[in-house]
Amino acid sequence: MSFSKEQGYLPVSLATIMDNIMVNFNTQFSTNYTTQSFQGTNAYKFYYAIAQELQKNEALTADVFLNLQQYIILTNQKISRPVNTNPGIVDKFLEEGYVASVKPMILADAGKINIAVDVDDGAGDYAATKTAIASLISQITVGGTVTEGGQSETIVLSNGQSFDFKFHLPNEIPIILRLTTTLSENNQVLVGSPEDVKLKLFTNINSRYRLGLNFEPQKYYNIQDDAPWTSDVTLEWSDDAGSTWNSTVFDADFDDLFTFALDDITLVES
């Protein structure tokens, strides 16, 4: 039985439990079994079932310690990061199921906060979403802060005072994407079908890119993980319907959001 700060509770191994049983058996019945001679006896069979139960409890105990450690870590994080810091605001929105970004502070914006939330203002339940977001902002921004943005909602506090809380909708930039792949001459694996490649790229971008992040094209599709049959892949984006193509990183403003559909991906194979 052992406990260390670094590793938590280490379950006792089954072999150790069986050895302890053997030592006690030797004491009780004046036998002189060793680990090797004890194995295979009827007594070993009999006690093995009990030892398994003990081992199960050992694992459960270790599990409790692990969960407790995670709980303490989580609580510590909550204590050390109040929600009205910039990362705290982003985290809180994420907890409530929204993707949000905060405008980096500059001197001219002192006392003001600009929050962009990735929601669709054309959705049927947008009125309810808007109220929910404004209510959330009212709880996680400190007094004296002016909220900025195109979307405004009046929130009534518990004492009857009403305030307007504002937020930004994303500045949607429709783009089209072009993925150029070169088949490797040393290829030994199955080449992916165009549909699969497009779907993989689409899934990758959706999981790795969101509001507030720079659009970094070479990060979304790579040879090693996604296309081992290629010798070169290049992803380009265009925000002017294909007149100019860029393979460089798009330095996004806090509310810039690239939008595209699966059909907006073109695949060029060479």
Partner 1 sequence: MIDIFPPSEPGLDLRKIDSDTGKAANVLSVQLGSLNHLPEFGIDLDYFLTEDIEFENESFQAYMIQVLTDNGINVSKSIETVESLYRKYTLSVSSNESNSKLVAR
Residues that bind partner 1 in the complex, under the rule CB under 8 A: 14, 29-33, 36-37, 39-43, 45-46, 48
| CA gyration radius, the chain | 30
Provide, rounded to whole angstroms, the least separation between the CB of residue 60 and partner 1.
Answer: 20
Rounded to 5 degrees, φ, ψ at 102 are -115, 140
Pick the closer one to partner 1 by CB: 47 or 258.
47
Provide, rounded to whole angstroms, the least separation between the CB of residue 80 and partner 1.
Answer: 46
**Distances, alpha carbon 232 to alpha carbons 133, 139, 169, 204, 266, in Å:** 44, 49, 37, 18, 16
Provide, rounded to whole angstroms, the least separation between the CB of residue 45 and partner 1.
Answer: 7
Closest CA to 269 of 195, 213, 189, 215: 195
**Distances, alpha carbon 72 to alpha carbons 76, 83, 84, 90, 92, in Å:** 6, 18, 21, 22, 19
Provide, rounded to whole angstroms, the least separation between the CB of residue 9 and partner 1.
Answer: 23
Provide, rounded to whole angstroms, the least separation between the CB of residue 15 and partner 1.
Answer: 9
Pick the closer one to partner 1 by CB: 11 or 217.
11
Pick the closer one to partner 1 by CB: 24 or 67.
24
Provide, rounded to whole angstroms, the least separation between the CB of residue 33 and partner 1.
Answer: 7
Pick the closer one to partner 1 by CB: 46 or 71.
46
Task: Please state whether beta strands 256-259 and 171-174 pair in parallel, antiparallel, or not at all (unpaired).
Answer: parallel
Pick the closer one to partner 1 by CB: 26 or 182.
26
State the greatest distance between any 2 C-alpha atoms of the chain, in Å, as a whole number: 92
Q: For helices 86-95 and 126-140, give the axis angle rounded to 10 degrees.
A: 140
Provide, rounded to whole angstroms, the least separation between the CB of residue 211 and partner 1.
Answer: 51
Pick the closer one to partner 1 by CB: 42 or 186.
42
**DSSP letter, residue 109:** G
Q: For helices 14-29 and 42-80, give the axis angle rounded to 10 degrees.
A: 140
- What is the Cα–Cα distance from 154 to 152, expressed in whole angstroms? 7
Q: Specify whether the CB–CB gap between 171 and 258 falls below 8 A.
A: no
Pick the closer one to partner 1 by CB: 22 or 133.
22
